[in-house]
Amino acid sequence: MKRETVIVLDFGGQYNQLIARRVRECNVYCEIYSYKTDIEKIKEIQPKGIIFTGGPNSVYLEDSPTYTKEIFELGIPVLGICYGAQLMMHLLGGQVGTAPVREYGKIEVTVEQSSKMFENVSEKTICWMSHNDYIAKEAPGFEIIAHTSDCPVAAVQNPGKNLYAVQFHPEVLHTQEGKKMLSNFVYNVCECSGDWKMDSFVEESIKAIQEKVGDGKVLCALSGGVDSSVAAVMLSKAVGNQLTCVFVDHGLLRKNEGDEVEAVFGPAGPYNLNFIRVNAQERFYEKLKGVEEPEEKRKIIGEEFIRVFEEEAKKIGTVDFLVQGTIYPDVVESGVGGESTVIKSHHNVGGLPDYVDFKEIIEPLRDLFKDEVRKAGLELGIPDYLVFRQPFPGPGLGIRIIGEVTAEKVEMVQEADAIWREEIANAGLDKEIGQYFAALTNMRSVGVMGDERTYDYAVALRAVTTTDFMTAESAEIPWDVIGKVTSRIVNEVKHVNRVMYDCTGKPPATIEFE
Ligand code: GLN
């Protein structure tokens, strides 16, 4: 049975992944394609609906992204958002120009509730706008179904042809009833049935893996992070004993983390993963001796990781498949899916394929957004605390220690970080804060302890609130919590005599320090 799909045609907007996520939240599978995708390819996909995204250009200028008009003749419903709305009007004979008043931010929109798009939406509803251009005149055959005080055409429809267009952004949370509107589009207009559910995804994936793998051997690098854990457990449910998981402890994990990972995934835990733990701490510290530059540290850690993994793999002998925990945003960001500029090409464990002898890669999470990976993890029975783990970078504490990494510094940052995390949890703040950790600055300064002069390190505490980790704000932590953590750290962690709180958002800072 073919899965119902809605596709997002990407014209370079900022929120394109959000559109796909919102559609999937409505239980409809959704994928992102560049506007350069050939119409034949789209016909092949046979989507239930198509959504044109926003974009930075002006539709009436030459060289702006466009699409063939034929797309509106396929009998497939189309929803245009912002640039996409303007483009639909422009292509179908309407007029788009510079708006006399541009709108930016939350704006009250008056909608025509009788439209399929606005069923159960309030007549006056707050929507998020971000445009310099506007639809001056709707295309023939269309009727206006929403306006604002400054924007005469905030939404239009041609219900006979199932074409809809909105000037605002229903995908962002600032649009209060945006989710309802997108749901109206996929259910009322596209007539989807809602077959994208994580329980069936997990079941189907397990079957597909079994068919692909047959009686082959599978190797997986398990880090204990959400993605690799979910991938590993899925594989073990599918092929059981044919799977071997290698966990490299590079000595840059959080306090007790190696043992925690082993407790869950090792022989004493509930899974059958043929778990191999490699304690490679000393090797990594040796390689990192004297190295201060962040990119160089990352490179060394990545390469050493591959070496260790490769040695372990050799012991196992030839494997047929290698598992990678690639997820959908990695696929989009590496330029395969969408139009937005290539940010980085991803490899979960940094280029493994070149070094390990295997026939094929399996990426069971390739189609999933992060929140879907978590849902799949819960479906697979992985405990909450693993599924809702904070992001943790591959190079681990190596990039939370500014400057040279030593075993002694690792211990300092592990202890400080454990105290910070414990107190955040005690204060009941752990659910609100997206990510929080301690870092060891490379700064030493003078202090006084027990009447004696000290010359010791400063720890930086970091806590940010964020919805997507693309932007973040420094979290407001109650002063008594910071006070308690500070006094515990300087008392309990040797060679730390100062604690600082990082007040910087992203941008201009990043969440991690290096
Ligand atoms: N560039 C177009 C405008 O300014 C569309 C903007 C958008 O899609 N957010 O109106």
- 108, 125 Cβ separation under 8 angstroms: yes
Handedness of CA 368, 373, 375, 380 (dihedral sign): positive
Q: Cβ distance 309 to 356 under 8 Å? A: yes
Torsion angles phi and psi, residue 510, rounded to 5? -105, 170
User: Which of 9, 11, 52, 58 best tests ligand 1's pocket when mutated (most atoms within 8 Å of CB)?
Assistant: 58
- Residue 153: the pLDDT is 97
What is the predicted pLDDT for the residue at 310?
83
Q: How far is the CA of 74 from the centre of ligand 1 (A)?
A: 26
Residue 13 CB less than 6 A away from ligand 1: yes
CA of 141 to the centre of ligand 1 (A): 23
Selecting among 4, 31, 103, 171, the annotated active-site residue is 171
Three-state DSSP class for residue 10: strand
Active site residue 82: yes
At how many degrees (to 10) do helices 281-288 and 294-316 cross?
Answer: 150
Is residue 454 in contact with ligand 1, taking CB distance under 6 Å? no
Q: Could you tell me if 41 and 126 are in contact, meaning their C-beta atoms sit under 8 angstroms apart?
A: no
User: 190 catalytic, yes or no?
Assistant: no
Q: Are 228 and 259 in contact (CB under 8 A)?
A: no
Atom of ligand 1 nearest to the CA of 55: 8
Binding residues for ATP are: 223-229
Tell me, using a 6 A CB cutoff, whether residue 168 lines ligand 1.
no
All residues at 6 or more sequence positions from 40 whose CB lies less than 8 Å from its CB, including other chains: none
As separate numbers, helices (DSSP H) first and strands (DSSP E) second, the chain gives 14, 18
456 lines ligand 1 (CB under 6 A): no
- In whole angstroms, what is the distance from residue 227 CA to residue 387 CA? 9
34: left (phi over 0), alpha (psi -120 to 50) or beta: beta
CA nearest neighbour of 324 among 354, 357, 358, 366 = 366
Ligand 1 in reach of 170 Cβ (< 6 A):
no
Active-site option among 4, 26, 31, 82: 82
Contacts of 53 (CB under 8 A, 6+ apart): 8, 9, 10, 11, 12, 13, 15, 16, 19, 81, 82, 83, 84
Pick the atom of ligand 1 nearest to 84's CA: 8
| For the CA of 53, the nearest atom of ligand 1 | 8
Phi, psi of 27, rounded to the nearest 5 degrees: 65, 30
The three state secondary structure string of 183-208 is HHHHHHHCCCCCCCCHHHHHHHHHHH
8 Å CB contact between 111 and 118: yes
Please choose from 132, 167, 174, 175 the residue to mutate so as to test ligand 1's pocket, defined by most ligand atoms within 8 A of CB.
Answer: 132
96, 130, 171: residue to mutate for ligand 1 pocket, most atoms within 8 A of CB: 130
Binding site membership of 10 for ligand 1 (Cβ less than 6 Å): no
8 Å CB contact between 67 and 26: no
Q: Which of 361, 374, 435, 384 is nearest to 227 (CA)?
A: 374
| 103 pocket-lining for ligand 1 (C-beta < 6 Å) | no
Global pTM value = 0.81
Which amino acid appears at position 427 of this protein? A
Length of the chain in terms of residues written: 514
Instruction: Say which of 169, 192, 379, 423 is annotated catalytic.
Output: 169
CB 325 within 8 A of CB 227: yes
Q: What is the atom index within ligand 1 of the atom nearest the CA of 134? A: 10
Q: pLDDT 10s per residue in the chain (514 long)?
A: 578 999 999 999 888 889 999 999 999 999 999 999 999 999 999 999 999 999 999 999 999 999 999 999 999 999 999 999 999 999 999 999 999 999 999 999 999 999 999 999 999 999 999 999 999 999 999 999 999 999 999 999 999 999 999 999 999 988 999 999 999 999 999 999 999 999 999 999 999 999 999 999 999 989 888 999 999 999 999 999 999 999 999 999 999 999 999 999 999 999 989 999 999 999 999 999 999 999 999 999 988 988 888 888 888 888 899 898 888 887 876 655 445 443 333 334 344 445 556 778 899 999 999 889 999 999 999 988 889 888 888 899 999 999 999 999 999 999 999 999 999 999 999 988 989 999 999 999 999 988 899 999 999 999 999 876 777 899 999 999 999 999 999 999 999 999 999 999 988 898 999 9
Kindly state if the Cβ of 133 falls inside 6 Å of ligand 1.
Answer: yes
Q: Are the C-beta atoms of 6 and 48 separated by less than 8 Å?
A: yes
* Residue 329, CA distances (Å) to 232, 318, 345, 470 in order: 19, 31, 11, 12
User: Which residue lies with its CA nearest to atom 3 of ligand 1?
Assistant: 131
Contact 305, 250 (CB under 8 A): yes
- Tell me the three state secondary structure of residue 259: helix
Find out whether the beta carbon of 14 lies less than 6 Å from any atom of ligand 1: no
Instruction: Determine if ligand 1 sits within 6 Å of the CB of residue 54.
Output: yes
Q: Which atom of ligand 1 is nearest to the CA of 81?
A: 8
Find, among 461, 467, 465, the residue nearest to 505 by Cα: 465
Measured CA to CA, the distance from residue 373 to residue 327 in angstroms comes to 8
Q: Render pLDDT for 99-152 as a digit per residue (tens, 0 to 9).
A: 999 999 999 999 999 999 999 999 999 999 999 999 999 999 999 999 999 999
pLDDT of residue 451: 87
Reported as a single tens digit per residue, the pLDDT across 285-310 is 999 999 999 999 999 998 898 888 88
Q: Ligand 1 centre from 200 Cα, in Å?
A: 38
How far is 448 from 16, CA to CA, in rounded Å?
A: 54
Residue 187 CA, ligand 1 centroid: distance in Å: 27
Compute the distance between CA of residue 404 and CA of residue 471 in angstroms, rounded to an integer: 28
Active site residue 169: yes
Per the omega criterion (within 30 degrees of 0), is the bond before 507 cis?
Answer: yes
Atom nearest to 14 CA in ligand 1: 9
Q: Where are the beta strands (DSSP E) in 93-197?
A: 95-111, 124-137, 143-147, 155-158, 163-166
